[in-house]
Structure 1
């Protein structure tokens, strides 16, 4: 008869995610995971798979949270252009209050060139973000809030690519005023 799990799966997944987030994938060992999750190695393998499988589950969980966050932010706008701006401003708010850099950005730079599974998840997230912004910009053109001469697809790429730049600027320069100026610059490009 199989044993019942004596732990909350989602709780342990979050603990693992936080550890990967703090140390990075490469530096996190199975011993680190055993210690952080406070369950034995065989329970980790039985419940989550190997270290790579567990990381993919953690990254996917994070991506789902991010996509929900973007949708919630978009819901704050009274128009499509305001929805896009709300997402951008909420990302910047997260940058300023979060003590950790975006897990997707960390994973992009650490793993996306060398791990096809991670690359696939991150590309899927980026494509979902691109589709969201592109649809908002197309709608903004229909509403008359965005010039018909602006390319919605290019603007979407510009925004999504600049999220990494905003995190980078905060990490390297730690200048809140400059971060707000960069944010205003990005928003002015789409207006």
Structure 2
């Protein structure tokens, strides 16, 4: 019997995540994954499972990375509004310059409609995103950086929806100026 190759599972999941992120679930072959992970298929099946199980683990890994980023931003001693504006600008930069944009958005449209586990992971990620934005906006309101009569929940929901719309718009039109203008308009509305 052939000996299975030993590998660093966390590193293998990170590499597989990058492949899924770039190509999407349906366009990614088992060969793409095993080559990127530098393992054979029996090692994959024996330790992680099939392609679907690997994808679920990759989506979870991706959302864990996002959570760490949001926690770090919330803990920042900088102005909450400045943190929010930087976050918006970074989102725009990812949309217009990132080859692969957001794995969560891609996965929501491609897989989450048919896979309950992926849907649950992304729903939890969406709730964390909402909570991050809500808390950041509330902090900015408490400091007088955003008017106190605004609804932080509505603004958080609006930004999450707008961001997905910016992503779709860029895919369809490849117009970076349009995306930047929409982001600046949103920032302007926050600070009126």
| TM value normalised by structure 2 | 0.87
More moved, 53-62 vs 167-176: 167-176
Residue 171 in structure 1 maps to residue 148 in structure 2: no
Deviation at 1:158, TM superposition (A): 0.6
Deviation at 1:75, TM superposition (A): 5.7
CA distance in 1, matches of 2:29, 2:177: 38
CA distance in 2, matches of 1:182, 1:158: 13
For 1:67-112, what per-residue CA distance to the aligned partner results, in whole angstroms no more than 9, with x for missing partners? 2333445566732222221211111122233111211010011122
More moved, 160-169 vs 64-73: 64-73
CA distance in 1, matches of 2:69, 2:169: 22
Cα-Cα RMSD = 2.1
Deviation at 1:53, TM superposition (A): 1.3
More moved, 119-128 vs 131-140: 131-140
Deviation at 1:160, TM superposition (A): 1.3
Residue 184 in structure 1 maps to residue 184 in structure 2: yes
CA distance in 1, matches of 2:95, 2:141: 29
Name 1:23's counterpart in structure 2.
23
Deviation at 1:11, TM superposition (A): 2.7
CA distance in 2, matches of 1:19, 1:25: 9
Contact 1:113 1:119 in 2 (8 A): yes
Name 2:111's counterpart in structure 1.
111
CA distance in 2, matches of 1:188, 1:179: 14
CA distance in 2, matches of 1:136, 1:151: 12
CA distance in 1, matches of 2:111, 2:160: 19
Unmatched segments (≥5 aa) in structure 2: none
Secondary structure at 1:185 match in 2: helix
Deviation at 1:36, TM superposition (A): 3.4
| TM value normalised by structure 1 | 0.87
Deviation at 1:38, TM superposition (A): 3.2
Name 1:44's counterpart in structure 2.
44
More moved, 92-101 vs 69-78: 69-78
